[in-house]
Every structure is written in structure tokens, then in C-alpha cells.
Chains A and B, each alone.
Chain A
């Protein structure tokens, strides 16, 4: 063979460059078209209001003192400001637990006082395990338990959506735990609902097995989810893991939310989920809030993660 197979003359180089340029150009144009279609579809959805819009905030850990975040109250205050400046008034705000770090009366007073600054008609909460460190959640219930059932669970309907707030941080050993009484509540609560009712479930600990070795799962969640399988759209939002994560199992989608306090390691990254100290200036990129929108007739909720930065 006389021709070296891998050498390229000037003309070939120009030709390949032209093809490469065409590939890049077409890809950019294609991306623009897809984004435009997606934007148009979303704009149509926005026009399709009235709908439900709410914000999720989680794991404020008021009272935490550590170098991972020396000012958790300041971060939580920023989160409240972020929610108050979304450009609309959310229908409600849900705090998915670990409002306080050590469940002292002062910390509950502090966080409750701060949350009065949220500009929304309703503020809902579920307890985290940090909110019930020494009294099985009694101080939490005194501060936030008004109108709830059992040990703090409840449900309500808003804009055609059925919302269930669960408590899986009491009686927990390693994994989250709902218990027989609460499971019975869920079964009876959803029994009269038609299958096309959109369901949103709040809990602190994930209802899916995100990382059971670190307790990032709920032992008896399968029983609870079995009551929800018949519904066409079920969305479960949780806190506890201090990071964004999502998982879909059939008709049920799980979304873990981030924190306003300090990040935790990714699942299995290290021996235990200890607070992670980020380099200076990086902390607020890891903290945030979540906007959630529901359009009538859509099975999936639209989520937007907003960093505190």
C-alpha cells in the first residue's frame, strides 16, 4: 500500500471541517427548535392557569452551629426572601422538616417567628427527626401541630389536588417509620378519591429507598404507596437528604429537596452523612428552595430548583 491511510490532504481537511461545521450548526439549530417547542408548550401551560403553585423549603436546622454554615438563620432568611420574590404569591409554602436542629423551645420560637415573614396564604410543615430529638415531637406539635391528626399528619385539598403530609420521623430506628395508625389514616383518607385525583405527598425522610444504609428510606413506605398506586399522578416531596434527587417508580415520582442550612455528602460518599464544609463562597450554590407548579390535566408537576445565590 502506497497511501498512508491516516494522512489527510488539505482538501480532505477542509471537507471534514465543513461536515463537522454542518453537524455543529444543525445540532445548535435542532437544540433551538426543541427548546422553542418546549418553551411554547410551557407557555401554553402557563396560560392554562388557574393552577397550583407552591414552594418547598427544607432542613433549615435553626440552632445549628458549625463551620459548614455558621449562620443558618441568615441562610433561612435568604430562602424566605427568595420565596417572597418569586414574582407571584405561592398558594402555600411547605417546610419538609428539620425546622430546628435540636428541638429546643427557643429554636421552635425562632423558626416560627421567621416563617411569619413568608408572603403566602398558608404555611405547612412536617417534622424532621431533629424536631423530635428528646420528646417524640411534643414541642413540634405544640408549635406546629394545630389542625393535624395523630402525631402531626394531615391532608387537604387545593385546586383539585389532594395533598397528604406524613410524619415518618417518630419511632424511627434506622429508617423512617409511618406506623400502623398513620397507614390506616392514608388508606381511609384516599379511599373516596377518584383515580384521576392528583396526589402530592410530603414527608421528611424519603418514601423511596434513596440510601437505606444511611437511613435514607422509610421502612413501611411500600404499604403507604400501595394505597396510592391506583392514582394516575402521585408526587412525593421530601427533605432530610439535603440534596436534589429524583426517582420515578411507575406512576409515582419522588423528589428530594435541598436544604437551607448545609450540604450532606452524596449517598455512600464517606462513612456517614456528616455536614459538608464547602470552600468559601460555594455554600449558597448548594442551598436553595424549590418552586412546584401543577397544571390541571397534566400528570407531571413542574419543578424548578432555585439556589439561594
Chain B
């Protein structure tokens, strides 16, 4: 693993963990009572923690893809909950603050780092 690879992995793992922490916090502080959404929050958080930990200790590349898919899915769910609603659940703007904003920034960062990671690996592959 190159230094650049390791840096991307640390960044993706950290951003994924932050999104997981945010979802876990909201689950513990009330969202557990929202039908279906509560279960989705605890699932997002637990899978985020697992994926982040395994990326950090050098797991295979599909874990990085899993982190990106998780972040993308969370962003889509966020957009739905602010527009047409998601499974009977709807919120407005950046509420609950600051967790909504923290999650979105972390998830955008995950997706951005994933794209950069892929580009970097492709360049290395092309050179090699």
C-alpha cells in the first residue's frame, strides 16, 4: 500500500465513522422511536463503524466501495427526507442541527475521497 493509498483510506474511514457517529447519536437520542427510520439509522451506523474499521486495518478495495455506497445511500435518503419524504418520515433543511450538516459533509467527503482514490489508482495502474 502506497502512502497516497493509506492517506485516502484514513480519510474515507474517518469520514465514514463520523457519519456513523452522527447516525448513532440521533438513534440514541430519539430516532429509535421513529418506525423503520430508527432501524435504518442503527443499521447505517453499525455498518459504517464496521467498514471504517476494516478499511483502516487494510481490508480489500471493495470495502472502500462499500463506504462510498453507504455514503451515497445516506445522501439519497437525506434528499428524499427533505423533499418527498422517506417511509413516512420528513424533515426540513438542516434540522436536526448540527447532526444533519455533519452527516452530509462527512458523506460528501467520503464520496469525493472515493472518486479521488479511484482516479489515483487508475493513474498508478496506467503508469505501471
Contacts and interface: CB of A to CB of B under 8 A. Distances in A.
B94 to A, nearest CB: 10
A136 interface: no
B7 interface: no
Given A22-B54, A26-B50, A28-B46, A243 B88 contact: yes
Interface in A28-82: 28-31, 34-35, 37-38, 41-42
A16 B34 CA distance: 35
A281 B54 CA distance: 45
B79 to A, nearest CB: 15
Contacts of A247: 85, 89-92
Main secondary structure of the interface of A (DSSP, over half): helix
Nearest to A22: B54
Query: What bracket does the count of chain A residues touching chain B fall in?
Result: 20 to 34
Interface in A241-272: 243-250, 267
A303 interface: yes
Contacts of A23: 47, 50-51, 54, 59, 63, 66
Given A27-B49, A247-B91, A250-B95, A34 B66 contact: no
Nearest to B32: A38
B121 interface: no
Interface stretch (B8-16, B23-31, B103-111, B112-120): B23-31
B33 A302 contact: yes
A300 interface: yes
A67 B111 CA distance: 50
A304 interface: yes
Contact of A35 (B42, B50, B51, B95): B42
B96 interface: yes
B45 A30 contact: yes
A300 B31 CA distance: 10
B33 A26 contact: no
A246 B54 contact: no
B75 interface: no
Nearest to B23: A34
Nearest to A247: B90
B88 A244 contact: yes
A305 interface: yes
Nearest to A12: B60
A23 B30 CA distance: 27
A23 B48 CA distance: 10
B30 A300 contact: yes
A30 B28 contact: no
A194 B91 CA distance: 26
Contact of B50 (A15, A30, A302): A30
Contact of B30 (A19, A24, A302): A302
A30 B32 contact: no
Contacts of A16: 60, 62
Interface of A: 15-16, 19, 22-31, 34-35, 37-38, 41-42, 243-250, 267, 300, 302-305
Interface of B: 20, 24, 27-30, 32-35, 42-43, 45-47, 49-51, 53-54, 59-60, 62-63, 66, 85, 88-92, 95-96
Given A31-B43, A34-B46, A248-B91, 6 more contacts: A23-B54, A23-B66, A25-B50, A26-B49, A26-B53, A249-B95
8 contacts: A23-B51, A23-B66, A27-B49, A28-B46, A34-B46, A38-B27, A246-B34, A248-B92
